[in-house]
Amino acid sequence: MSDYGEKGRGNERCGGGGRGYRGTGGPSYGNDGNYQGHYHGARQVNDVVNGMGQMRVDDRNGHGGPGGRGGPDRNRNGGGGGWNMYSQNPNSQGNRAYQPTIDHSAPARSAHNPNAPIAKNQLPYNTQEFAKRPPKMISEMKLGDKVYLVTNHALVMLPAEPIKLYCYNVEIYNGTKHIDKREEAVPIFWAIIQDHDRHFPHRGELIFNDVNQLWSCKKITTDAIQRYRGVSRNTRHFSMVLKFSNYFMFGVGPDATTDTSMMSTITHAIATARVRMATHEGTRYTVFKRLTFLVLSNAKERSMPDVPLYHPIKWGTDAKVGFSIAFRMNLRAGITACFDINHSVFTRPGYPLVRLFVELCAAEPITDEEYEENYDEYIRNARPDENNKRVMEKILHGMTLHFSVSPAISMEAAMGPNRAGERNGSRQFKFYELADSALEETFEWVDRDNVVHHTNIATYFRITHQYILRYPHLPCVMKKPSQNAEIKRILFPMELCSYIVNPTRYQGFFPESFHAEMIRFTTYTPKQRRILLEHVISQRPLAQTDPVVDSNDVQMRRHGVSIQEKMLEVKATVLPAPTIIYGNSTVHDKDHTGVWEAMRNEPVRTVLPDGILTPGGELKKKVIGAIIAIESPRTNSRELEFNHESYAHLMRGLAKSGQPIVWADEALRVPAILNLIHYNQSHDTPQDLFKSVHTMAAAANSEYTTEGDGFVIVPLFFLLFRERAAMYESEQTYNDYNLIKFLMDNKAGIVTQGMLVANFNCVMPDMTVCPFTCHVVEKILGKIGTTHRKLEREGAHKSWTTLTNPDAPTLVLGIDVSHPKTQDRENGKGGKPSKRWQAGKEHEPKDINSLSVATVVGNIDLDITQFRASNRLQDAGIEQIIRMEHEVSLRITEFVKHTGKMPAHIVVYRDGISEGDFQKFLYEERTAIESVCKQLDINPTLTYIVVSKRHHTKFFARDKDTNQFDANIKPGTLVEDVVTTTNYYDFFLGSQVGMIGTSRPTHYYVLHDTWAPMVSFWPTVTHALTYSFARVTSTTALPSPIEYAHLAAKRAKETLYAADIVRAVQNEPMYNPECLHDIGLLTEAINAHPNYVGMPFI
């Protein structure tokens, strides 16, 4: 096989970053966030190690080599020890490979020694104590119903006599390039080990974490730092630097290492070593980060009874099941292994690109039978268009492909003679883009006789390979050009290219339909998930493949590790549900279903009598609607067709719920409409739209009210979209949804409700048979500040009575931080800017979308139903809230403004932090709240509760004779023992209604509590808060303050983008995220208008 290039056109179409398509990265279905690797820089090693030369096996002359991965100058920052891929609680500092000895009894930093390191136990946040677990558990009390469950944890036994393990930091290089990707590092590591087997213990005695750490029962090197170079033909370009870090006593007992994170890391590496090393043919697993995926190649192996393990999707990709194991060292049951199941998308081995092209042209997946029988006709008749090529480039972005003439010749042999001979040749290459067809692409090349030819690609293959292209009209595939390559254009005929043989995780284009199909086919029922988990935990072979984990394998036995082959049992309590109060009825979830009817109930459950009053309680709100019909900029039309009767149905639904509206003819039940505006950004400007809407809303109150009637008009604008605005967002067109919501919610304080016109047209007159109408009405009520329901204050739920006591009112805060996507975060570091529409002007190197948004929400009423939010911008990735005092002060001020009372208790629900950050975050945010209270001269109690969904613990009914055996656990199921920690006062609470799939309980940590109420208070209050989320008539996975904080942070991120657009369309300078003045303007812009009547983030 010969590469071919075009003389004189070497850089054509190769400049810059290609055609701009960036893979979104394949989602790993399931929740494996805790297991993803974090490779942060190591601390600087001591001076002695920094000065040491690196000793080579093949060259004993000292030679300074590359250092650790931490700093910009690796030769200075030697040392590795970064937080590895198995870290259970990743942090920003990582492990220290070498660290100076600290005298913890010495004072930190004095005048005599100002640069002395601060001892960890002298840091302010490490002197505080966490709240203590109550002496008695609810499971021991009469409260609630007692049930027995099993969980996906199994007990783990470690050696009673600790084993000494030597730890080494590993750095692998290809020349001078450091390799930190597992798929690249693993084969090189074991090949170099084989090249230097006399220097290393037996392979079975080495435990490699696949990236940067190695453990061994025997000491490997005598030098602190040593370099090994590859000597075989396949490894001569590679080298490995081994640095002795420390030794650990692995096991249990007084002599064992007390670092639980490191113990968890080593245990995981030992338990998964067999499937990660894959040294024998019977093992068919592939590892991605902390997930072990089962790779099946035979149709008969693709499922086990009642549980599918494999599902083909489309575009030559398959959904494969993966397993994760997390070792927890601090649970009340002891050391446990938590098993869970996830799915991800992998490429199909050897999938031909012509078949992918056929699928795109046919706009549907093609079965194997259809492809075998009809594919030739499909391909010969198909002609590519620009959309096909664009989608195909997005699918193949970043993918490694395989080129070979041999398979194509074999294929032609089955069809009849179509070649004069054969010439074997194959290679792998990185996809770059699609070029013109093999008939159109021409170039000059020199044959073996030094004759210069100027031919197209089809002719080239006929001459050099004696192969006649069957589909020369298809686009050619271009190899990604090397930076220093002389030939920049290397092309391959599409029919000779395929996916590589080894399945790789798909990271290409993921449209919504792809996600939907993935979820539909990979979501297990509770019964299916339990069957598969029991099968894995019992260590039985899976689909004729070795078990995922096996206590009898060599590594487990050698290191004294074993895992029990059964699920742990736990005793749980189903907590009593609160009573829900509506304007004309009450609801009590006595059966713990977590679902009830309001708008679909007969009669309709109406809003609370005082719920329609303005915050001051003086006037009643009356709603009048208007419509903005927003056409797609991809069309030239301004007239968006829609069903006008749908507007009337929605307004009548509001009236039926008890919310007053403006009638054009109340006798005939015809609602009034303020106006109808057609908008298309191709013809209209946001400024004109804003002026029209603002004028209309200002005139509504005087036009539809009379003095003394006791009403205030609330304009409600329905935003009808032809298609999702994100679908047409580009460098030339902006996101209409974000922009209009920003102008109306934040700049004008006008209530809006957006929806697709197709959904709007589906609104039915009878809400009892139209769930969509009910959902929209519930959202509108929340947005206009009308309280539809509340939880009963003076009832049987004593904890809620205490929480809502008007004589000792409670302010409940929800805190969350929304971080930018990876691509936007890179843009904030000066990378390629993301799509910021700027009226044709060049982008600035920085992007405001790279900023994070911190959100604090708090209730403004005594019944904890109405919430308001404040948002603040801060640097990307910063989880702690900068100047939190300001946000807390705003929440307290609004609470006092609307209730007339100072809070006696402040309860904080905090999302987004892990166990490793508890001390620091609790200290900083607790002191911020206490500082504000001191300034306001109040002394409320303070409770700080961390909310976490980033775990893999799940529960199932233990007894098969119960009606819950094949279903999810009931809302209100509380687990306090066995799988909770010994370090904190924590509990699991299952509150979500799992309609599809297996519900996951939420993990709560009560870190600080000066209120110290009764034992059952915090679990029961938290459970009650899952009944008060205004958007739905069902319980939620998280308490309502956290749900509102999530929504408010998401809305703020969207308005952040829109604020940038407004400046662009007004031809003003773009916001600069490095300018404090601009940050101040943006912070004001992302917060709702002060006159907004309700909760805009609903």
Divide the 1098 residues of the chain into consecutive groups of 10 and give the mean pLDDT of each group: 39 34 39 35 34 37 38 37 39 39 44 60 82 95 95 97 94 89 86 88 88 91 81 81 92 91 92 75 67 64 73 88 93 96 90 88 75 75 82 92 70 36 66 93 88 92 89 92 78 93 86 84 90 94 85 92 97 97 95 93 93 86 96 88 95 96 95 95 91 90 82 96 86 89 94 96 90 94 96 94 98 94 57 42 60 95 97 87 93 96 98 92 96 97 96 90 74 97 97 84 98 96 97 96 97 90 84 88 93 94
* CATH number for the segment(s) 602-783: 3.40.50.2300
Q: Is 95 helix (H, G, I), strand (E, B) or coil?
A: coil
Q: In the numeric block, which tokens belong to residue 878? A: 């910063």
Q: How far is the C-alpha of 73 from the C-alpha of 67, rounded, in Å?
A: 8
Q: How far is the C-alpha of 674 from the C-alpha of 381, rounded, in Å?
A: 54
Residue 750's pLDDT is 96
What DSSP state is assigned to residue 863?
A: T
- What is the residue extent of each domain of the chain? 353-501, 602-783, 798-953+1000-1085
- What are residue 838's phi and psi, to 5 degrees? -135, 35
Nearest alpha carbon to residue 209 among 111, 89, 290, 307: 290
Residue 965's pLDDT is 62
CATH architecture of 353-501: Beta Complex (2.170)
Tally: H helices and E strands in the chain: 25, 43
Q: In the numeric block, which tokens belong to residue 319? A: 């959904």
pTM of the full structure: 0.85
Residue 878's pLDDT is 83
Q: How far is the C-alpha of 734 from the C-alpha of 740, rounded, in Å?
A: 11
Exposed / middle / buried, residue 63 (Cβ in 10 Å: 0-12, 13-18, 19+): exposed
What DSSP state is assigned to residue 72?
A: S
Domain pair 353-501 / 602-783, same fold:
no
Q: Is 701 helix (H, G, I), strand (E, B) or coil?
A: helix
Residue 8's pLDDT is 37
Q: In the numeric block, which tokens belong to residue 630? A: 């927003």
Contacts for 832-841 with beta carbons within 8 Å, 24 or more apart?
A: 832/17, 835/729, 835/730, 835/731, 836/1057, 836/1060, 836/1061, 836/1064, 836/1070, 837/729, 837/730, 837/731, 837/732, 837/733, 837/734, 837/1061, 837/1064, 838/1064, 838/1070, 839/1064, 839/1065, 839/1067, 840/732, 841/1064
Q: How far is the C-alpha of 97 from the C-alpha of 212, rounded, in Å?
A: 12
- Mention the CATH class of domain 798-953+1000-1085: alpha beta
Q: In the numeric block, which tokens belong to residue 640? A: 């968006």
CA torsion angle 615 617 623 626 (round to 10): -30
Q: In the numeric block, which tokens belong to residue 657? A: 């719920």
